Amino acid sequence: RDLPKDLFSAIADLKRELNAIILAHYYQDPDIQDIADFIGDSLELSRKAANTEAEVIVFAGVHFMAETAKILNPHKLVLLPDLEAGCSLADSCPPDEFAAFKAAHPHHLVISYINCSAAIKAMSDIICTSSNAVKLVNQIPKDRPLIFAPDRNLGRYVMQQTGREMVLWQGSCMVHETFSEKKMVQLQVQYPDAEIIAHPECEPPVLRHANYVGSTSALLKYVQTSTSPSFIVVTEPGIIHQMQKQTPNKQFIPAPPLNNCACNECPHMRLNTLEKLYLAMKNRQPEITLPEETRLAALRPIQRMLEMSA
Ligand code: 13P
Ligand code: SF4
């Protein structure tokens, strides 16, 4: 395979040629974050996808994120550098099983975390992300029973924050459930001045120790405003690249500290590479496509989310 020596400038050339925008999630490799036009959490990325004037969207993230961009932009070419970049959480909610689950709770409103397939979105009333889930649930009348899918950990966290009961689909993220409470407590002893910051996809025993819980962007903002000199970061360590860039004088300790923490890198997110991103732009594929009927049904709850969290 012929790859240009300077991938950064070759990608910049293709971006101009295609009138493309590169959107990246914080869990991407640092070089992908550095070449992106926009980096954000899931809500910010979907807002950006909804508003971009670019003709081509190159999504450096996982399948459900690029799919959301396509749902919002049916006439644009949406490229995902590696089509295999899935999500264990999205995969933990098969559409046929979810349809049966929903049928068993016919009066419930379905609120689904954006980390799910278009088929699940199509069966949902409202989509949420980790940054607006509490806000959206608080807007739903109290007497309305709720199903929350697919992440049981975010669901439990939202229940705790809102005081609302919800029927939870029992899905989880393979990355966030690997963090161990014991290792974190050991780290806390080692770094007594550090604050623990965690993503709500973590299990309750881990969240219990956190000084702050939030989406990737919320964690990034928190480290800028907190007076603490150091942080134990309990989420995918890709975010540390931005934390270090934006606050170079602070110290960030990935949890748990096993050999550069490669164990806690999301294997799906990390399938994307700069080389694959270049090839996707050059070949104009792999492209995200989905049936129009599914797209229209999935669009409705996404639009609802965008309106409710405006
Ligand atoms: P946010 O960036 O919205 O916090 O999502 C985290 C995540 O797990 C994405 O897959
Ligand atoms: Fe899915 Fe977890 Fe990876 Fe996010 S970190 S893409 S939720 S497997």
**CATH number of the domain encompassing residue 80:** 3.40.50.10800
Q: 20 CB under 6 A from ligand 2?
A: no
Q: Is 251 inside a domain boundary?
A: yes
Within this chain, do residues 225 and 301 fall inside the same structural domain, yes or no?
A: no
Q: Which atom of ligand 2 is nearest to the CA of 64?
A: 6
What is the pLDDT at residue 255? 85
Name the token pair of 289. Answer: 């496509």
Ligand having the closest approach to the CA of 217: 1
Specify whether 116 is located in the same domain as 190: no
Token pair of 40 as six digits: 């954000």
Other CB atoms closer than 10 Å to residue 19's CB: what's the count? Answer: 10
Q: Is residue 22 one of the residues assigned to a domain? A: yes
CA distance 116 to 44: 17
Tell me, what's the pLDDT at 288?
A: 98
Q: Which of 87, 115, 134, 219 to mutate to test the pocket of ligand 1 (most atoms within 8 A of CB)?
A: 115
Residue 310: pLDDT above 90?
Answer: no
Boundaries of domain holding 235: 176-264
Percent of the chain at pLDDT exceeding 90? 92
**Together in a domain, 167 and 206:** no
Ligand that lies nearest to the alpha carbon of residue 173, given by its number in the listed order: 2
pLDDT above 60 (res 257)? no
Question: Are 182 and 160 in a shared domain?
Answer: no
pTM above 0.90, yes or no: yes
Predicted local distance difference test score (pLDDT) of residue 43 = 94
**CA 6 to ligand 1 centroid distance, Å:** 30
User: In this model, does residue 258 exceed pLDDT 90?
Assistant: no
**pLDDT recorded at residue 1:** 65
Indicate if the pLDDT at residue 23 is higher than 70: yes
Q: Is 2 among the domain residues? A: no
Mean pLDDT of 221-246: 97
With a 6 A CB cut-off, is 115 part of the ligand 2 pocket?
A: yes
- Same domain membership, residue 202 and residue 147: no
- pLDDT confidence of 262, banded at 50, 70, 90? low
- Residue 159 CA: distances (Å) to CA of 138, 152, 181: 10, 10, 21
CA distance 157 to 154: 5
Reported as a pLDDT band with limits 50, 70 and 90, residue 256 is confident
Peptide bond into 205 cis (omega under 30): no
Query: Is 101 inside any structural domain?
Result: yes
Residues 196, 55 share a domain: no
Q: How far is the CA of 236 from the centre of ligand 1 (A)?
A: 9
More confident residue, 259 or 285: 285
| Residues 251, 280 within the same domain | no
pLDDT digits (tens, 9 = 90+) for 106-149: 999 999 999 999 999 999 999 999 999 999 999 999 999 999 99
In terms of domains, do 136 and 212 share one?
A: no
Per-residue pLDDT of 61-110, as tens digits, reads 999 999 999 999 999 999 999 999 999 999 999 999 999 999 999 999 99
Cβ of 114 below 6 Å from ligand 2: no
Examine the domain organization and report whether 168 and 300 are in the same domain. yes
Give 211-231 pLDDT, tens digit per residue.
999 999 999 999 999 999 999
How many separate domains does the chain show? 3
Please tell me the number of the ligand nearest to residue 91's CA: 2
Is 1 domain-assigned?
no
- Whether 188 is in a domain gets the answer yes
Q: Is residue 303 part of a domain?
A: yes
For residues 52 and 127, membership in a common domain is answered with: no
Ligand 2 atom 2: residue of nearest CA: 173
Q: Which amino acids bring their CB within 6 angstroms of ligand 1?
A: 41-42, 115, 129-131, 199, 201, 215-216
Q: Are residues 114 and 246 in the same domain?
A: no
CA pair distance 138, 23, nearest whole angstrom: 30
Question: Ligand 1 centroid vs 1 CA: distance in angstroms?
Answer: 33
